[in-house]
Amino acid sequence: MRRTVFRKSLFGFLVLCGLCVLALGARLIAADVDGIAVPKLELHDTHLDNGLRVILVPDHSAPVYAINVTYNVGSRNEPPGHTGYAHLFEHMMFQGSENVGKGEHFILIFNNGGGMNGTTNEDRTNYFEELPKNQLDLGLYLEADRMRSLAVTQPNLDNQRAVVEEERRQSVDNQPYGHADLDIDNLSYDNFAYKHSTIGSMQDLNNASLQDVQNFFKTYYAPDNGVLVLVGDFDPEEALAKVKKYFDAIPSQQPPPKVDLSEEQHYGERRETIYDPLAREPQIIEAYHIPPGNTAENYAAQALAGILSGGQSSRFYQHLVKEKQLAVNVQAEPDARIGPSLFYIVATPRPGVSVADLEKGIDDELAAVIKDGVTADELAKAKTQELRRFIDQRRSTLNTANLIGQYAVYYDDPNLINTVADKEAAVTLDDVHAVATKYFVRDERAVVITMPAPKDSVAGKATGGAQ
């Protein structure tokens, strides 16, 4: 057995004013699968007086740093009539603030050798940049200026509304299967928070007013509703001083209203068929309800997904693609949300195979897990794959910062970056069997079938209960 011990960094002894260094102790090794050690990170976790949570993570392996600001707002916060606002707002954050012009953010980041983006999902909105280490002030200044003083104008709103509508066309309306991706959530959830799409409806986007956008900013883009994460080549004490310089004066706001994410148990399978003129082959999406992310059951569901479709030795690939030749591909993808989550299965039948036959093939695979469980070899394999993925994610400071920001906002646990691999490793055979039995319930699932429609036709759909 071989161990790689990450060299303990300089900051083991640092006591920083106002910084709570998470006690990671002498044990700097996280998960350990077959002797593989993942170096642990030292998180310096503190709050400014205005409530902004600041997490500083030194990593001197390259002369760069990453900054992530994650706001505790996503499409789950949108009420009916306001769908797509969280994501539209993400675009508005690049339209200028008191000291940064419209579009200047891109220009400053890329001209100085950096990279950046912003993303929105159901649960959170994040903004991130990566820059050479000598540009630490630049990243902090850009994030602070827009948190403090976003300036939105009607022309900029109109412009970005149109860009977002183009994004919707490009990723949904002009793509085969685009609507199936939205409809599966719509069918699966009754609670509006997760029922509606993050991209939103064209009608709601068109109705968004300047006042709406301003209210959204005031409600959600406050320091006490966000987390700032820095990972990279800096001195934490100096970095904290800079963070204070730029962010201290931003006032906190009333906490935003809490969103009820609870979902009543469903009875009766929900089913829809979409006739899609852009599709050339049928597609099946199924969704089963599973518990929220970072729960023992959700980790078991992630392992189960690895067993079902992780790699070419997986059950779906070996049984459905190779042996029975029912499918050209079948993927299991459980998600991990703050609230009730979904276990998706997406499949394309082999040409000439009926959707019904492939559906039955998938059902048989799930039934086999429920009947006999999975093997120790399969679970070990899934865990090793999971660990490998996690290590790869940890390579870049930017990915690391994004994960920490997400863990802080989702679960109030930024240190999950150091413990998630242990949690994944702790899943047992019984856990996997139990989640399959409890959650692969045909009567509670949703199914969206896409069928190719004649090329010149208009997309249509047929909805119904169990067949």
Partner 1 sequence: MIKRNSELARTLRLSLWPGRLVKGRGKQRPYAVAVAIVALVCASQVRAQGNKGTDVSKVVRLNRAPVSKEVLHVQLPRPTVQKLPNGLTLVLLEDHKLPTVAFTMMIRPGQLADPDDLPGLASFTAAMLREGTTTQTSAQIAKEIDSLGASLGANAGFGSGYLSVNASGLAPDADKILDLMSDVVLHPTFPDSELAQYKQREQSALEQRLSNPGFLANQALRKALYVEPPLSVDSPTKDSIAKVTSADLKKFHDQHFTPGNAIVGVTGDFKTADMRALIEKSFGSWSGAAEAPLALPESRVSEPSKIILVDRPSSVQTYIVAGARTIRRTDPDYYSLVVMNDVLGGGPQARLFLDLREEHSYTYGAYSNMSANIYPGDWTGYAAVRTPVTDGSMTQFVYEYKKIASEAVPASELDDVHRSIIASFALSLEQPAQVLGSWMTVQYYGLAVDYWDKYPDRISGIDAAAVQAAAKKYVDLTHIQWVAVGDRKQIEPVLKKYGSVTVVDADGNPEP
3-state helix, strand, coil in the chain (%, to 5): 45, 20, 35
Closest to partner 1 by CB, 255 or 389: 389
Nearest to 244 by CA among 44, 14, 18: 18
Q: Closer to partner 1 by CB, 291 or 306: give it.
A: 306
Closer by beta carbon to partner 1, 258 or else 280? 280
In this complex, which beta carbon is closest to partner 1, that of residue 428 or of residue 457? 457
Going by C-alpha positions, the residue among 277, 316, 281 that lies closest to residue 454 is 277
- Token pair 């899943």 is at which residue? 427
For CA atoms 405, 178, 193, 332, the dihedral sign is: negative
Tell the smallest beta-carbon distance from residue 308 to partner 1 (Å): 12
Residues in 74-93 at the binding interface with partner 1, rule: CB under 8 A: 87, 90-91
The region of 46-54, 208-216, 296-304, 346-354 touching partner 1 under the rule CB under 8 A is: 346-354
Asked if 208 interacts with partner 1 (CB under 8 A), we say no
Q: State how beta strands 270-276 and 125-132 pair.
A: unpaired
Q: First and final CA of the chain: distance in angstroms?
A: 54
Segment interacting with partner 1 (CB under 8 A) among 18-26, 193-201, 215-223, 410-418: 193-201
Restricted to residues 121-140, the positions that interact with partner 1 (CB under 8 A) are: 121, 130-135, 137-138
Q: Does 182 bind partner 1 (CB under 8 A)?
A: yes
Q: Minimum distance from CB of 255 to partner 1 (Å)?
A: 25
The CA distance from 254 to 225, in Å, is 9
Per CB under 8 A, which of residues 320..339 are in contact with partner 1? 321-322, 325, 328-329, 331, 333, 335
Q: Across the strands, what pairs with 275?
A: 451, 460
Closer residue to partner 1, CB minimum distance, 139 or 291: 139
- The minimum distance between CB 341 and partner 1, in angstroms, equals 12
Tell me the C-alpha distance between 257 and 73, whole Å: 11
Q: Provide Rg for the chain, Cα atoms.
A: 24
Does residue 388 interact with partner 1 by CB under 8 A? yes
Kindly tell me which residue out of 313, 354, 428, 463 binds partner 1, with binding defined by CB under 8 A.
Answer: 313
Minimum distance of partner 1 from residue 190's CB (angstroms): 19
Region 283-312 residues binding partner 1, contact defined as CB under 8 A = 285, 310-312
Q: Does 103 bind partner 1 (CB under 8 A)?
A: yes
- Can you tell me the distance from the alpha carbon of 193 to that of 341, in angstroms, rounded to the nearest whole number? 12
Please report whether residue 155 would count as binding partner 1 according to CB under 8 A.
yes
Residues forming beta bridges with residue 123, ordered by sequence position = none
Rounded to the nearest whole angstrom, what is the least distance from the CB of residue 417 to partner 1 in the complex? 14
Q: What three-state secondary structure class fits 130?
A: strand
Among 219, 295, 384, 419, binds partner 1 (CB under 8 A): 384
Do 362 and 330 form a contact (C-beta atoms < 8 A)? yes
- Pairwise CA distance, residues 300 & 334, whole Å: 10
Task: Please pick, from the candidates 216, 344, 407, 439, the single residue that binds partner 1 as defined by CB under 8 A.
Answer: 344
Whether 461 and 273 have beta carbons less than 8 Å apart is answered as: yes
Nearer to partner 1, 344 or 407 (CB): 344
Count of residues in contact with partner 1, rule CB under 8 A: 125
Site residues (CB under 8 A) for partner 1, limited to 212-271? none
| Nearer of residues 112 and 201 to partner 1, judged by Cβ | 112
Q: Across the strands, what pairs with 286?
A: 345, 447
Query: With binding defined as CB under 8 A, does residue 203 bind partner 1?
Result: no
Q: Which of 265, 280, 372, 467 binds partner 1 (CB under 8 A)?
A: 280
- Selected from 68, 70, 83, 160, the binder of partner 1 by CB under 8 A is 160
d(CA 400, CA 38): 13
Structure tokens at 293: 């992310």
Which of 318, 375, 437, 463 binds partner 1 (CB under 8 A)? It is: 318
Residue 336, phi then psi, degrees to nearest 5: -135, 95
Q: Specify whether the CB–CB gap between 223 and 247 falls below 8 A.
A: yes
CB-wise, 103 or 251, nearer to partner 1?
Answer: 103
Distance CA 61, CA 56 (A): 15
In the bound state with partner 1, the residue whose beta carbon lies nearer, of 148 and 350, is 350
Nearest distance in Å: CB 15, partner 1: 27
Restricting to residues 418-457, name those near partner 1 by CB under 8 A: 455-457
As measured in angstroms, the least distance from the Cβ of 243 to partner 1 is 14
Q: Are 265 and 462 in contact (CB under 8 A)?
A: no
Alpha-carbon gap, residue 389 to 299, rounded angstroms: 14
Q: What does the DSSP 8-state code read for residue 336?
A: -
371 binds partner 1 (CB under 8 A): no
Q: Which of 120, 225, 294, 450 binds partner 1 (CB under 8 A)?
A: 120
